[in-house]
Structure 1
């Protein structure tokens, strides 16, 4: 069983975890693995057990965005792509994106394409300067 006390979870979260666990088990995932995956999914979608105050909860919009992003990454993985790389069209469009708007990982990838030496030890600002 996954670590942690489940008493802090709402009834809705417990029902959701049970449903997800059943789904995994029906697809042949071992019971312990299914339970671990189910609680990990509940934690990702709702931020864990019940929390006091509205400031500590994710908005429905934020949860929806997280689910959409997760689904997009899963689909990319099924297609055999790295989830962060996207399609060829996306990569072509990223050429017009300013370097400062890119993540360090994306800058490292571009630096590798251009053969920048010492890129793995560079900070984001140094990568931007090297690519400029």
Structure 2
């Protein structure tokens, strides 16, 4: 856990880490997932000194989980694929569908 985190974030970190391990993730991967999630929540709520643009603009992890909790994992959203394609400089990305973006990114 990062320095300066409070008891709530400590509990959140442990809960996320345990859940990831129960799903079959390795301990290292579970720690990484938990740390990234908690750090993003800290940034969104103004608890950290610095925050990336994607941490502030992207939907919160709890909102994302709530949207997909009953439909299973649909993978990344079209918006997330589009943003990744933009970062990689994929040509023609604005006219692509979600599946076309996915193929262009090699997924």
More helix by share: 1
Alignment TM-score, normalising by the size of structure 1: 0.42
Alignment TM-score, normalising by the size of structure 2: 0.49
Larger Rg: 1
